[in-house]
Amino acid sequence: MQLSLRAFGIVAVAFALSGCSGNWGWYVVNPTIPAGASNLMFLLGGLKYTVALSLTAIAISVFVGLVIALPGLSEKPLVRSINRTYVELIRAVPILVMILWVYYGLPQLAGISIGVFWAGVIALALSDSAFEAEIFRAGIQSIGKGQYEAAHSISLSYTDTMRFVILPQAIRRILPALGNQLVYMLKMSSLVSVIGMQELTRKANELVVSQYRPLEIYTVLVLEYLVLILIVSAGVRWLERRLKADERN
């Protein structure tokens, strides 16, 4: 705690000293002047793509992760190997490499054309699905066998048991981990800028090239991601409290 306060103090002093320097050019993002307001609007123009990319990718990765997690619960070694092979192969590939491979390699391999948005979605969803599979597998395995036996006693099928008994309980337990993955997805979406996706980071890079003020522009970029992630974190905590309240009732 003491070390954290000291580090915060050092950062605060550094910013204060830098603010006194003539090297700062906050006019480039000053909303009170036309040029600064225009630059800010340009930066914020990438927000919708970052949010759309992240939400679409996380939705797909959660679905794929659940599908991949189910074989990992099987008692048959051959079926479990499907889960292990997928998880280990996907987790071994860095996200940036996956993005480049999907955008440049997959069209040649499959003979199809992929835009930058869907290339980013596919790459992020594939990379995250391996982690989602492990989260779901751990969450489902944490449910006691008594729940399965109770479902079997009232003649529920495997699908209905998972849908109505096991998954609702598992999701309550893994919700914090799923929230962390959404935050992770928001941050990793910045890597899609390398293939030309006009999201927050790409917009900031283009503005730096034209304005030559990287410090001020990237500071605004940091604040944009900070606000996004704080909103997501607050939403996840609210959902956790809501689910706990429903469970008590």
pLDDT digits (tens, 9 = 90+) for 20-58: 445 677 888 888 899 889 999 999 999 999 999 999 999
Is 25 part of a structural domain of the chain? Answer: no
Tell me the residue type at 189: S
Handedness of CA 210, 225, 189, 46 (dihedral sign): negative
CATH assignment at residue 108: 1.10.3720.10
Is 3 part of a structural domain of the chain? Answer: no
pLDDT at residue 187 in the model: 92
Closest CA to 201 of 184, 211, 214, 212: 214
- pLDDT tens digits, one per residue of 90-112: 999 999 999 999 999 999 988 88
Is 160 part of a structural domain of the chain? Answer: yes
Is 67 part of a structural domain of the chain? Answer: yes
Domain encompassing residue 58: 33-248
Is 28 part of a structural domain of the chain? Answer: no
Q: Of 196 and 5, which is predicted with more confidence? A: 196
Is 240 part of a structural domain of the chain? Answer: yes
Task: Count helices and strands (H / E) in the chain.
Answer: 12, 0
Closest CA to 218 of 205, 209, 231, 199: 205
Is 17 part of a structural domain of the chain? Answer: no
Is 8 part of a structural domain of the chain? Answer: no
Total domain count, the chain? 1
- Is residue 41 packed enough to be buried (19+ CB in 10 Å), middle (13-18) or exposed (0-12)? exposed
